[in-house]
Chain A
Amino acid sequence: QKEVEQNSGPLSVPEGAIASLNCTYSDRGSQSFFWYRQYSGKSPELIMSIYSNGDKEDGRFTAQLNKASQYVSLLIRDSQPSDSATYLCAAVTNDYKLSFGAGTTVTVRA
């Protein structure tokens, strides 16, 4: 079993809609979780981090964490064409490295 699993998509949403991305992780000891956005041909860039249960909002992005269910999600509200990218979920499982999911590709239709 992979340490971090994401629904692979692709996910297509109309402009202005909410895009919902899901991620599960297998290591109960994971403490910190990150969402990275990666445009085609570019390197991943951090958009959200979350460490405690509940919701964390930053602009149009909301990350949700449920440690009991080992579940992390990212909501993108009022989706824009510029949100079209691959979104990577990552979990810190030890002091050294992050474990990444395979990514979910999102396409926002104008």
Chain B
Amino acid sequence: DVKVTQSSRYLVKRTGEKVFLECVQDMDHENMFWYRQDPGLGLRLIYFSYDVKMKEKGDIPEGYSVSREKKERFSLILESASTNQTSMYLCASRPPGLVDEQYFGPGTRLTVT
């Protein structure tokens, strides 16, 4: 059974803080993703990675960076948190290929005050 875990379910940070969101998957998937989800805007891709140390910008990378030092772990970093980054953050993983499904973590609800 695939498991994608995220370090926190709820997080409250202050404006200007550096924030780390961690994601770990246990199925040896090459591809990992970070999304944010806001009411009325659907899932928006922030960054993804298709291999260790590889990263690609998604649709809304501004204000975020990522790190993938190990295959199972993909971190999202908010260098200086702002109130407009208050959101639900979802991590996901999937193997490469055209038919495989994507698995999501439970999500982290981040509030920046």
Interface of A is mostly: loop
Are B102 and A31 within 8 A (Cβ)? Answer: no
Q: Please classify how large the interface on chain A is, using the bins under 10, 10 to 19, 20 to 34, 35 or more.
A: 20 to 34
With a cutoff of 8 Å between Cβ atoms, the chain A residues found around residue B33 in the complex are: 97
Contact residue range for chain B? 20 to 34
Q: Are B99 and A96 in contact (CB under 8 A)?
A: no
How near does chain B come to A39, taking the closest CB pair, in angstroms? Answer: 11
Residues A51 and B99 in contact, CB atoms below 8 Å apart: yes
From residue 44 to 98 of chain B, which have CB atoms closer than 8 A to chain A? 45, 48, 50, 56, 90, 94, 96-98
Given A43-B107, A45-B104, A103-B42, A97 and B99 contact (CB-CB distance below 8 Å): no
Question: In the complex, what distance in Å separates the CA atom of A92 from the CA atom of B102?
Answer: 10
**CB-defined contacts of A49 to chain B, threshold 8 Å:** 99, 101
State A98–B101 Cα separation when bound (angstroms). 9
